[in-house]
Amino acid sequence: MLSIGIDIGSTQTKGVILRDGKDIVKKSLLKVGTGTSSSKKILDTLLKNTDITLDDIDVIVSTGYGRKTFEQAKMQLSELSAHSLGVCNSIENVGTIIDIGGQDVKIMDISNNKLQNFVMNDKCAAGTGRFLDMMARVFELDVSELEGVAKKSKEVVAISSICTVFAESEVISHLSNGCKIEDICSGLHHSVAKRVASLSGRLEIKDNVVMSGGVAKNGDVVKWLEKELNKKIIVPKDCEFMGAIGAAVYGFSKTR
């Protein structure tokens, strides 16, 4: 049985084809989010270069910010439930999931492979993927390059501003004061980790912390977050696909 999970986020669209709710047959990622042509494109991209056609697919489930606008989906699921299912599908005994997405930070409390409770950040963009995108632009870097740069840091520069506009001006003034990019960069990662950790007061972080979402690929953020939470963090191989995988798992379990 084949199920498709589509996760339409604010900045990216992810899709997976899953066989029997377990094995990934194909996965695709488009760098455009909700409100764009991505929802149509993602299915084409997923099926391209495979011998699978849409008729072979038993169920399509959407999740993410744009979940309700995806017409081909038979069901839709909130991204929190989807991330939980996705992570629990690939890792055992999960205690807490932290997902840093484009505009949201979510912390999910998991027991017995089930979502028990969750918290999300407030309106402010600090601590989200978007914050890092904006800061990468200041350095004229791609967001994927931030980790590599930050790893060279020897003397981290503290970034204190909470508002993105002020943080940007703080970064610029550090740059013009001759601070090294790598030190500022690591400081930014630290500030993101601090913002995320501040949510932990609202929901207990248990052992076996798993991080999902694109920002989890940034090892420097993960390192800072481990420090702030004083916990080891597991990053699954397909961390940015957890929502899509969860949606496909859900489709499988409901259709089976």
Partner 1 sequence: MEKRAKDILNELMDKHYKEAVDAKKNNIPVGWVSSNFPQEFIEAMGLVVLYPENQTAAISAKHESMKFIEEAGKMGYSNDVCGYARVSLAYTKLKESDAQNMPLPDYILCCNNICNQLIKWFENIAKDLDIPMILFDVPYNNDYEVTESRLNYMKEQTKYLVSELEKITGKKFKKENLERVMKISNECGKEWRRAQEFAKAKPCPLSGFEMFNYMALMLCARGRQETVDLIKMLADELENNHKAGKSTFRGEEKHRVLMEGITCWPHLRHNYKTMVKNGINLAGTVYTDTWGRMYDDIDEMLISYGLVLDNLNLERAIKRRTNIVRKAQCDGAVIHMNRSCKIWDGFLYEMERRIHDETGIPTVMYDGDQADERCYSEAQFETRIQGLCEIMEQNKLEGVK
Partner 2 sequence: MKEINIILNRFSYIANNPRKIVEDHVAKGKKVFGCFPSYCPEEIVYALNAIPVGLWGGNIKPFKAKKYLPSFFCNILQECLELSINGTYNNLSGVIIPCVCDSLKAVGQNFKVAAPHLPFIPLVQPQNREMDFATEYLKCEYKQVTEKIEKITGNTLTDNKMNEANEVYNVHRKIMREFLMLANEYTDIITPLYRHKIVKSSYFIDKKEHTKMVKELIKKLKTLPKSKPYKKVGLLGIMMDSDEMLNYFDELNLSIAFDELLHETRQFRFDADMIYEDGLKNLCTRWQKTIGCSLLYDANKTRIDMILELIKDNNVDGVVICKTTFCDPEDYDLPFVISALKENGIFYTVVEIDDKDSIEKSKTKLQTFSEIIE
Question: Which spans of this chain sit near partner 2 (rule: CB under 8 A)?
Answer: 65, 77-81, 104, 115-118, 120, 122-123, 202
Q: Contacts with partner 1: how many residues (CB under 8 A)?
A: 17
173 binds, among partner 2, partner 1, none (CB under 5 to 8 A by kind): partner 1
Over the window 199 to 238, marking each residue x when it contacts partner 1 by CB under 8 A and - when it does not, the resulting string is -xxx------------------------------------
3 state SS of 16: strand
Task: Scan residues 88-127 and list those touching partner 1 (CB under 8 A).
Answer: 122, 124
Tokens of 183: 């030190």
CA–CA distance, 76 with 5 (Å, rounded to integer): 9
Bridge partner list, 7: 14, 63
Q: Does 198 contact partner 1 by CB under 8 A? A: yes
186 binds, among partner 2, partner 1, none (CB under 5 to 8 A by kind): none
163 binds, among partner 1, partner 2, none (CB under 5 to 8 A by kind): partner 1
Residue closer to partner 2, measured from CB, 81 or 153:
81
In the complex, the smallest distance separating the C-beta of residue 22 from partner 1, rounded to whole angstroms, is 38
Quote the DSSP letter at residue 156: P
CA–CA distance, 115 with 247 (Å, rounded to integer): 14
In the complex, the smallest distance separating the C-beta of residue 65 from partner 1, rounded to whole angstroms, is 24
Whether the CB-CB separation of 59 and 75 falls below 8 Å is answered with yes
Residue closer to partner 2, measured from CB, 81 or 89:
81
CA–CA distance, 194 with 127 (Å, rounded to integer): 8
In the complex, the smallest distance separating the C-beta of residue 149 from partner 2, rounded to whole angstroms, is 31
Instruction: Please identify, among the stretches 52-60, 110-118, 157-165, 245-253, the one whose residues bind partner 1 according to the rule CB under 8 A.
Output: 157-165
Q: 């890092």: which residue's tokens?
A: 132
Query: Which residues lie closer than 8 Å to 100 by C-beta, 6 or more apart?
Result: 127, 128, 129, 192, 196, 211, 213, 214, 215, 216, 221
Task: Scan residues 168-197 and list those touching partner 1 (CB under 8 A).
Answer: 169-170, 172-173, 194
Phi-psi bin for 181: left (phi > 0), alpha (psi -120 to 50), beta? alpha
Burial category of 125 from C-beta neighbours within 10 Å (exposed 0-12, middle 13-18, buried 19 and up): buried
Residue closer to partner 1, measured from CB, 56 or 204:
204
In the complex, the smallest distance separating the C-beta of residue 1 from partner 1, rounded to whole angstroms, is 44
Whether the CB-CB separation of 145 and 123 falls below 8 Å is answered with no
Q: Which residues of this protein are in contact with partner 1, per CB under 8 A?
A: 122, 124, 160-163, 165-166, 169-170, 172-173, 194, 198, 200-202
